[in-house]
Structure 1
Amino acid sequence: MPVITCIDDLKRLHRRRTPRMFYDYAESGSWTEQTFRENTSDFDQIRLRQRVAVDMSDRSLGSEMIGQPVTMPVALAPVGLTGMQCADGEIKAARAAERFGVPFTLSTMSICSIEDVAEHTTKPFWFQLYTMKDEDYVRRLIQRAKDAGCSALVITLDLQILGQRHKDLKNGLSAPPKLTPSTIANLMTKWAWGLEMLGTKRRGFGNIVGHVKGVSDTAQLGSWTAEQFDPKLDWAKIAQIKEMWGGPVILKGILDAEDAVKAAEVGADAIVVSNHGGRQLDGALSAIRMLDPILQAVGDRVEVHFDSGIRSGQDVLKAIAMGAKGTYIGRAFVYGLGAMGEQGVMTALEVIQKELDISMALCGKRNIRDVGRDILLIPEDFSGRWQG
């Protein structure tokens, strides 16, 4: 067993173990991937202030996200096709999150269904909703999430149309994978992954197949999903969905101060500053650059969370110090899942927790609730001054 000291160690194992199309699905952005790259590289520009001769004992990372106690201010982000990174991947990730004490968010485009995850966990999880043109399906999907006891609805706003990801097109991404000569050749080198997949019945989109009229198998799914993302989604429809849900609502995909204000006005319990991990609008600013302008725009009117680019505990610390109340990891936990299954997700969380704890202490803080901008050195004009 290799010694795991950072998220990159898990990433290397993930790449060796998982079929190319699913590794590429996780590790890619849209178009030139500029925004995908800068989501992580822009964190490097923010530095931490080292402090000494302060009491570093009895430290605590415990916090809350939308009123829910968390072991540290980190949630597992919704990631589509997680069950293709590892057999029953959503179940394993949800179990790890539950054991660790952080929220798990199930994607609409998951392999394991809402009911599958609920059956194999004991605590409520969050459900992420893509708004579809089929309003009857959306209503039934929301009801299924309610019936499963999901404690928050995460509505993704930045995927009304699908950004182009070159690798997915070239790999012929599908679930389960189509058996072309190149795919077969690659799968032959991933025998451990294949053996696990043979042992599960969950190989299609569990929240869709069998729940949509005219979609009874995966062969019919591609054409349905390509036409179903709702380009007409607007703030009025978001308000309707919020009322339909009737519980805590988190709006994910906010990257502009004006949109953040509108999200607060519509009554969101929290917003997630996110550019979909650089997978939608390439050329947009990184999420960490946009965090401060959004925080200034909304103040205390809505809880602000952060997503896109976190690969370490120091990244979490920087986002929290800037003012975010919580953060989300997507690729970081997927690397662990693809590398080592449920234990890999636990390992990813442990790696981030350890780095967050030590870095916080070396900045002179004992409690994550006391962390603020005073521990940061942020370049002047970090968020940029752009011509209108």
Structure 2
Amino acid sequence: MKDVVNIDDLRKLAKKRLPKIAYDFIEGGTDDEVGLVTNEQAFRKARIVPRYLVDVSVRDQSTTLFGRTYSSPIGIAPTGLAGLFRHGADLMLAEAARDANVPFIMSGSSTGSIEDLGKLAPDHGWYQLYSAKDQAVSEDMIKRSADAGLRTLVFTVDVPEGSNRERNTRNGWSRPLRLTWKTKFEALLHPAWMMQWFRHGTPYFDNWAKYAGPDASADKVADMVAYQNRAPMSWKHVERFRELWKGNFVLKGIMHPDDAIRAHSLGVDGVMVSNHGARQLDLAPSPLEVLPAIRDAVGDKMTVMFDGGVRRGLDAIIALCMGAKFVFVGRPTLYGVTAGGVEGAAKALQIFRREIDISMAQIGATKIADLGPQYMMWKDEEDLRRNRR
């Protein structure tokens, strides 16, 4: 970790540790993977205008979200199957988030349990809910999250069907796994990961085990998860889950202003603008492109958060200037925990914190609350006049 300078260094270390089948699962998108480029290039196209002669000797990036003040506006987004990349990764991510005083969203496909998250990081842990075919399962997970002391539930709505992830298909990724000899041989070139696989085998989806029957094997639980996650979703589910959940309720995957408005009308507390890391619909716009319209549609009526393509602290600054209250990252912290466990995840968060701090100084902002469209390059004279107000 001492030689790591940026997030891409962590990515390279993660790639070195993992066999191709596992690394491609992290990196891959869907179809032609245009969306992966779209997400990151949206930031490259943005231009942020500095304001000089501002005393930036003291800078504060603390941010209040749902009544709790965090040390930085960066949180850890849900990333499924983290335990495949490093055993126990989900709770390692939670520990790093707790120690950095930022939120962590446990994936609905995690290999750690809601109950363990509640014990380890009750003030920083959120839970991601997928709608199960058996609604009693979803409703029980909501109850378990409340019983564990978690305060925020994130209902992910952008997976109406499994997508066409061709990297995974070529690598033999399926249930059950059908690995080619080429895939197996390549895995032998990553001994640290292979030792983990021989010791622990198929990742165990702890949160789903109780629904798969007594003493269910990891493979049986995984099969049950694959079946349950192919569930239809509608606004009726939002209404029902809002009724059951008494804490902060967030919809993740909102990409249209009208959907954000409807979510607010149903009592949703926040939306996360996200296209699922470009893993669902290849030609969807980037979250950054739709963020301003969503923010304009709901204003301060609900909390607007952001996820998608953030690789630098300056990316986070841009998203905050364009309307996000808070920014979440998925792959960067997954690289970190894969490469170095808790220390690696902490390193990723430290990198973002440092880069955000430097960027604030460079543009003349002393507090996160000061960030807004006035720092973005104006489109025309009217836009410039509007930002001066």
* TM-score normalised over the length of structure 2: 0.91
Structure 1: state its 5+ residue gaps: 381-388
Contact map agreement 2:202 2:219 (CA 8 A) in 1: no
> What is the rounded CA distance, in whole Å, between the counterparts of 1:378 and 1:45 in structure 2?
13
Distance change (3 Å), C-alpha of 1:122 and 1:197: farther
Contact map agreement 1:47 1:378 (CA 8 A) in 2: no
Q: Which residue of 2 aligns with 1:345?
A: 345
* Amino acid of the structure 1 residue aligned with 2:321: A
> What is the rounded CA distance, in whole Å, between the counterparts of 2:360 and 2:345 in structure 1?
22
Q: Which residue of 1 aligns with 2:364?
A: 364
**Total equivalences in the alignment:** 380
Deviation at 1:175, TM superposition (A): 9.0
Q: Which residue of 2 aligns with 1:383?
A: none
Q: Which residue of 1 aligns with 2:260?
A: 260
1:64-106 deviation per Cα after TM superposition (whole angstroms, max 9, x unaligned): 1222211111110011001111110001110000000100100
10-19 vs 167-176, which moves further: 167-176
Contact map agreement 1:59 1:367 (CA 8 A) in 2: yes
Q: Which residue of 2 aligns with 1:385?
A: none
Contact map agreement 2:114 2:207 (CA 8 A) in 1: yes
> What is the rounded CA distance, in whole Å, between the counterparts of 2:341 and 2:150 in structure 1?
23
Matched, 1:14 2:14: yes
Deviation at 1:187, TM superposition (A): 2.5
> What is the rounded CA distance, in whole Å, between the counterparts of 1:122 and 1:297 in structure 2?
32
Q: Which residue of 1 aligns with 2:250?
A: 250
1:45-76 deviation per Cα after TM superposition (whole angstroms, max 9, x unaligned): 11121232220111000011222211111110
> What is the rounded CA distance, in whole Å, between the counterparts of 2:378 and 2:336 in structure 1?
31
Deviation at 1:231, TM superposition (A): 4.7
Matched, 1:35 2:35: yes
Distance change (3 Å), C-alpha of 1:175 and 1:109: farther
TM alignment of 1:283-322, pairs within 5 A: 283-322=283-322
Q: Percent identity?
A: 34
Contact map agreement 1:66 1:270 (CA 8 A) in 2: no
Contact map agreement 1:159 1:229 (CA 8 A) in 2: no
> What is the rounded CA distance, in whole Å, between the counterparts of 1:178 and 1:299 in structure 2?
49
Q: Which residue of 1 aligns with 2:385?
A: none
Distance change (3 Å), C-alpha of 1:310 and 1:151: same
Q: Which residue of 1 aligns with 2:58?
A: 58
Q: Secondary structure at the match of 1:48?
A: coil
1:268-287 deviation per Cα after TM superposition (whole angstroms, max 9, x unaligned): 11100011010111111111
Deviation at 1:219, TM superposition (A): 3.1
1:348-375 deviation per Cα after TM superposition (whole angstroms, max 9, x unaligned): 1111111111111110111111111111
Q: Which residue of 1 aligns with 2:87?
A: 87
Q: Which residue of 1 aligns with 2:383?
A: none
Contact map agreement 2:122 2:150 (CA 8 A) in 1: no
Deviation at 1:140, TM superposition (A): 1.7
Contact map agreement 2:323 2:372 (CA 8 A) in 1: yes
Contact map agreement 2:172 2:180 (CA 8 A) in 1: no
TM alignment of 1:1-388, pairs within 5 A: 3-121=3-121, 123-173=123-173, 180-197=180-197, 203-213=203-213, 216-221=216-221, 223-229=223-229, 231-377=231-377
